Amino acid sequence: MYSSSLALNGQSLTLEELAAVAYERMPVVLHPEARRRMEASRAVVERYLAEGATVYGINTGFGKMSEVTIPHDQLADLQLNLVRSHACGVGESLAEAEIRGMLLLRANVLAKGTSGARVVVAEHLLAMLENNICPVVPARGSVGASGDLAPLAHLALGMIGEGEVFYRNNRVAASGALLEAGIEPLKLAPKEGLALLNGTQAMAAVGGLALLRAERIARLASLAGAMTLEALKGTPTAFDARIQAARPHPGQLEAGRHLRSLLAESEIRESHREHDPRVQDAYCLRCMPQVHGAVLDGLAQARRVLEIEMGSATDNPLVFVVGEKSASAGNEIISGGNFHGAPLAYAFDYAAIVLTDLISICERRIDRLVNPDLNEGLPPFLTPHAGVSSGYMVPHVAAASLLAEARVLAHPASIDSVPTSGGKEDHVSMGMTAAWKLRQIVENAESVLAIELMAAAEGLEYRKPLKPALRVEAAWNQVRSVVAKLDRDRSLHADIGNLRAAILRGALDDWMR
């Protein structure tokens, strides 16, 4: 349990903070300064209403119907109908961790004090977090234009006591869960339905949690590559610091340093240092600093974009408090387009591309481990009974299949705009699609990485009694604690799943640096 809580003030959040709340239920509270700002922005909304000014989303329709003015006695129905009508997502629900991430990020947007929502709305989101009430949010149905309208509508639907939620390991009616937790269903005031629906918090939560997993994969790929290099009796010469310094991309420098650290003090390397007829290793071994490093740089750029977004105002219209003058004179509520998901869509597409190429280089190394024409004297398919046994033949096939799927998923979503809302929303980001695809590619990469680690560990069995580098040997022992040596054919399905689960638990994180 956490001894401290995260105080929301509309600030930029880190991926680690997102994960701490999403996975580990780190407590979250509203900062006093956020309360003050929210009260001030709400007062602006109330002044506009009192003066009878016409403002988008407060007393008008939405999208194509923004020209329609709504009578004062129908303003409550306007917000309620907005939530109900937009909650039309399809498909399976997002995971509970992703929904918790949405609750956090939406509360943080409101905490900036530019949404015009009452403090109670942010408090309601945090109460749901505290009680682990997660509205069921179908994964598909957002084009990421006015933000993630359908996913966020499902989030808001649970807040008003409608739809379904995940609560105490069950999928139940939201009304019952709120009642049991002692939370009153939220009654939406003018502007608040729109304040909950406009924004990028679904794509940010799904893509952000996927990105954090991708960063782990990118570093563990160097561990898998180092283990493969040792099993294939490769050379670490290409990782020389002088080579990396001659092309000083930050990721390449880091990947080269990491590989040198992993491969220090190796008996296997010393055994063939003087009498190796090979001049250079294949690219999938020799170019690990360049490829793994470029992946690190790509993911770092995606992180920069995402961490800015998690502290940004992404709804519409935005409320700017400039003083106590009349609403019309202050021009304090301004319509814009901060809800558009382009920054995240581009970042997630880029991350998907670099991660797919990481899968590609891992698959090439797996092939070299199992291919008798390439594996430097290891038995065919890493089995001593080739022919009667298939060994690691089909795990390589599985890796190739996962790579093929990732290549299809890596097609950029952000270039596939489809006009919606009667042409009013005529250019959309498809950011949620980009986030969803990235999550699937991450899952594929985790399985491919597990397969490479298993195959490399098996290859090292055939280099005994020579020992690999000290850190590689320690990691090999960790892999062996999950996956036993392949003395004879067995189904490796469970082994792959178990090692992937160990990766997700952080069992190999000691070798990430």
Contact 30, 10 (CB under 8 A): no
Residues 69 and 54: beta-carbon distance below 8 Å: yes
For 127, the token pair is 């109460």
- Contact between residue 457 and residue 227 where contact means Cβ atoms under 8 Å apart: yes
Burial track 109-129 (b if 16+ CB lie within 10 A, e otherwise): bbbbbbbbbbbbbbbbbbbbb
User: Start-end ranges of CATH 1.10.275.10 in the chain?
Assistant: 6-200
pLDDT(402) > 70: yes
Q: What is the pLDDT of residues 462-497, one digit of tens each?
A: 999 999 999 999 999 999 999 999 999 999 999 999
Confidence grade of residue 2 (pLDDT, cut at 50, 70, 90): low
Q: pLDDT confidence of 84, banded at 50, 70, 90?
A: very high
pLDDT of 329 reads 54
Residues serving a catalytic function are 56
pLDDT at 326 exceeding the cut of 60: no
Average pLDDT, integer, range 78-105: 96
DSSP H helices, 310-430, are 327-330, 342-370, 393-409
Mean of pLDDT values over 408-412: 98
SS3 content of the chain, % helix, strand, coil (to 5): 60, 5, 35
Residue 381: other Cβ atoms inside 10 A = 24
**Under 8 Å between Cβ of 93 and 136:** yes
Please list, in sequence order, all residues whose beta carbon lies within 8 angstroms of the beta carbon of residue 416, skipping any fewer than 6 positions away. 430, 433
CATH architecture of the domain covering 207-313+341-417+446-511: Up-down Bundle (1.20)
**What is d(CA 496, CA 453) in angstroms, rounded to the nearest whole number?**
10
Contact status, residue 188 vs residue 57, Cβ threshold 8 Å: no
Structure tokens at 198: 């406009």
Q: Where in the chain is the domain with CATH 1.20.200.10?
A: 207-313+341-417+446-511
Mean pLDDT value of segment 332-352: 95
* pLDDT confidence bin for 54, thresholds 50/70/90: confident
Question: If DSSP codes are grouped into helix, strand and coil, which group holds residue 278?
Answer: coil
Q: In this structure, are residues 106 and 125 in contact, taking their beta carbons and an 8 Å threshold?
A: yes
For range 80-97, the mean pLDDT: 96
Q: Going by DSSP bridges, is the β-strand pair 90-93/6-8 parallel, antiparallel, or unpaired?
A: unpaired
Between strands 6-8 and 28-30, the pairing is parallel
- Among 1.10.287.1770, 3.40.50.1220, 3.30.565.10, 1.10.275.10, what is the CATH number of 6-200? 1.10.275.10
% of the chain surpassing 90 pLDDT: 85
pLDDT for residue 284 is more than 80: yes
Question: Can you give the pLDDT at residue 391?
Answer: 96
Higher pLDDT, 322 or 290: 290
**What's residue 272's pLDDT?**
86
